[in-house]
């Protein structure tokens, strides 16, 4: 079978301290309910500087400057053990400061909805036009237009619902205006969320082109897999983020669509991409997603109460290149697909059984043959203070326990197995961002270097959040070392073709004799 391959991945992080305060759902809800709360007063004091964000070890793991296994060797709490020589640029991506990102939001705005204060805009422009990833994006020239006076911005923002304010270093620097007078799907707040998601995904795609050999004009199809929805009152989630993102990055030969599935969407999208490539429909497919402002500071109350840094101050983004089998890069085993069926059940064991045990058992693959499992890779320093525990470790222990149930491991060996195929969580809690995909770049390198042979990528989703079903969701696939054998277009390899031809000749010779 001619499987598709993963040719590269990129990862972006954007510091968004001011968006934590003004756009994160936990904070905006608190402002409505209790505008004078102690939490809101203390919150700004516990926000991190950009330097602290860059030096935070999990962030360095996300962009590829350290491996997840190296992260495990750094004592916790990680926020008390910064990496002093950390760089904002990494092997797989980059960490962007908030002012540059605000400039990028204006760059990707094609309906003239984003307005910035003139001095701030000039400062952001100076940084973007020399940025190796951002300088060539379509729309950078918008920063050359005159910015606004702060007095005019203040008057507009004071009109209720007319504009969504943009802050930097706790001062007003601009706004996003509403895109329609009475369409709530095009309100200023929704447009702000969607432009942030678009801009961060543009960042990830531009990083992918920088970090790999893929060229913008070579992309045939884009699948966007975030948790936002763009549309108007007649089709609130109609889309299309994918083509909007590709347009900014110069993907003139691509089309695309959006895939939604809560946190599981990126893995759904990767399976779709692999299937499209394997079927010969498209050669180069990119799966990507930007971040979600609503999820900034979700656990902020617990962090502030425990006098911790507010660690949910980052937007996450990623892009993955899926292409035709080249005999080199790791393949996506579309014959080893796990799926949480409607009838699978919602217990953690039932979900893991459906996503891990069943697909492996179907193909006769043992748990011990999977060298690496990529599960929900949330950073435990974010989730533990809120009482959610160490999410990756809980997933890994469940997988190991199912291995015991299968008779592969001894119960006493569970911790050793977790250490063998697991790793600490290092991704921001952006919902869809942690769900399996942060490990892909690292797993690809490990496979290419011959250090491992198989990795399983797992995505899970909470469909009940939409209040239409009580169901969970999840899908998984196996990344595997490429054997170097590339099948011909007929779906069979050259040796099989020779055998078929030889058999046909023998049959023909036999029929002539008779």
- Residue 499 belongs to a domain: no
Residues 304 and 361 reside in one and the same domain: no
Residues 312 and 341 reside in one and the same domain: no
- Residue 467 belongs to a domain: yes
Residues 398 and 418 reside in one and the same domain: yes
Residue 30: pLDDT band (50, 70, 90) is: very high
Last residue of a domain, one of 323, 348, 382: 323
Calculate mean pLDDT across residues 208-212: 98
CATH number where 376 lies: 3.40.47
Question: Residue 332 has what pLDDT?
Answer: 98
Alpha carbons 167 and 102: distance in angstroms, whole number = 9
Residues 274 and 412 reside in one and the same domain: no
Q: Find where tokens 């990102």 sit.
A: 101
Residues 90 and 209 reside in one and the same domain: yes
Half-sphere CA count of 278, side-chain side, radius 13 A: 19
Model confidence pLDDT, tens digit, residues 460-508: 999 999 999 999 999 999 999 999 988 765 445 556 656 667 776 776 6
Question: Residue 487 has what pLDDT?
Answer: 74
Last residue of a domain, one of 292, 323, 354: 323
**DSSP assignment of 181-228:** SS-GGGSHHHHHHHHHHHHHHHHHHHHHHHHSS--GGG--EEEE--S-
Residue 1: pLDDT band (50, 70, 90) is: confident
Calculate mean pLDDT across residues 99-125: 98
pLDDT at 48 over 90: yes
Question: Residue 490 has what pLDDT?
Answer: 47
Residues 222 and 165 reside in one and the same domain: yes
Residues 432 and 457 reside in one and the same domain: yes
- pTM of the shown model: 0.94
Last residue of a domain, one of 323, 347, 370: 323
Residues 224 and 108 reside in one and the same domain: yes
- Residue 503 belongs to a domain: no
Indicate the number of domains in the chain.
Answer: 2
Q: At what angle do helices 98-108 and 241-248 cross, to 10 degrees?
A: 100
* Token pair for 405: 């149930």
- Residue 154 belongs to a domain: yes
Model confidence pLDDT, tens digit, residues 324-372: 999 999 999 999 999 999 999 999 999 999 999 999 999 999 999 999 9
The values of phi and psi at residue 312, to 5°, are: -90, 55
Residues 348 and 284 reside in one and the same domain: no
- Residue 360 belongs to a domain: yes
pLDDT at 241 over 80: yes
- Residue 509 belongs to a domain: no
Residue 446: pLDDT band (50, 70, 90) is: very high
- Residue 317 belongs to a domain: yes
Residues 291 and 345 reside in one and the same domain: no
Calculate mean pLDDT across residues 423-428: 98
Residues 233 and 340 reside in one and the same domain: no
Range of the domain at 475: 332-480
């Amino acid at each position: 079978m001619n499987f598709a391959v993963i040719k590269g991945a990129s990862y972006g992080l954007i510091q968004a301290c001011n968006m934590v305060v003004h756009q994160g759902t936990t904070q905006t809800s608190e402002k409505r309910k209790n505008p004078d709360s102690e939490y809101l007063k203390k919150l700004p004091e516990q926000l991190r500087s950009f330097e602290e964000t860059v030096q935070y070890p999990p962030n360095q793991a996300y962009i590829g400057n350290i491996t997840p296994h190296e992260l495990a060797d750094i004592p916790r709490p990680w926020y008390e053990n910064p990496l002093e020589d950390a760089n904002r640029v990494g092997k797989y991506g980059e960490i962007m400061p908030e002012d540059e990102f605000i400039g990028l939001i204006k760059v990707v705005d094609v309906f003239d909805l984003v307005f910035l204060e003139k001095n701030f805009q000039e400062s952001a422009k100076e940084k973007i036009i020399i940025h190796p990833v951002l300088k060539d994006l379509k729309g950078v020239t918008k920063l050359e237009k005159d910015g606004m006076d702060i007095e005019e911005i203040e008057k507009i923002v004071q009109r209720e619902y007319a504009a969504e304010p943009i802050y930097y270093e706790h001062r007003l620097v601009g706004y996003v205006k509403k895109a329609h007078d009475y369409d709530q799907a095009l309100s200023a707040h929704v447009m702000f969320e969607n432009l942030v998601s678009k801009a961060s995904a543009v960042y990830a795609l531009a990083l992918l082109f920088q970090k790999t050999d893929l060229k913008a004009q070579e992309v045939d199809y884009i699948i966007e897999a975030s948790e936002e929805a763009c549309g108007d009152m007649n089709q609130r989630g109609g889309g299309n983020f994918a083509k909007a993102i590709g347009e900014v990055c110069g993907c003139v030969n691509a089309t695309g669509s959006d895939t939604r599935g809560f946190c599981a969407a990126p893995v759904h999208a990767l399976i779709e991409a692999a299937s499209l490539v394997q079927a010969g429909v498209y050669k180069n497919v990119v799966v990507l997603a930007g971040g979600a402002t609503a999820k900034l500071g979700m656990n902020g109350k617990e962090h502030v109460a425990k006098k911790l840094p507010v660690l949910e101050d980052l937007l996450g983004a990623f892009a993955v290149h899926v292409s035709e089998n080249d005999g080199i890069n790791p393949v996506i085993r579309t014959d080893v697909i796990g799926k949480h069926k409607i009838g699978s059940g919602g217990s953690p064991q039932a979900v893991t059984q459906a996503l891990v045990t069943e697909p492996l058992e179907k193909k006769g693959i043992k748990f011990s043959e999977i060298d690496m499992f990529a599960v929900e890779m949330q950073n435990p320093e974010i989730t533990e203070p809120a009482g959610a525990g160490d999410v990756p470790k809980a997933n890994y222990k469940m997988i190991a326990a199912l291995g015991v149930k299968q008779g592969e491991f001894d119960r006493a060996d569970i911790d050793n197995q977790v250490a063998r195929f697991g790793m600490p969580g290092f991704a921001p809690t952006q919902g869809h961002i942690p769900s399996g995909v942060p490990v892909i770049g690292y797993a690809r390198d490990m496979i290419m270097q011959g250090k491992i042979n198989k990795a399983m990528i797992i995505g899970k989703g909470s469909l009940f959040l939409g209040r239409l079903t009580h169901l969970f969701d999840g899908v998984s696939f196996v990344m595997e070392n490429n054997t170097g054998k590339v099948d011909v277009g007929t779906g069979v390899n050259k040796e099989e073709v020779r055998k078929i031809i030889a058999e046909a000749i023998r049959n023909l010779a036999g029929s002539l004799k008779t």
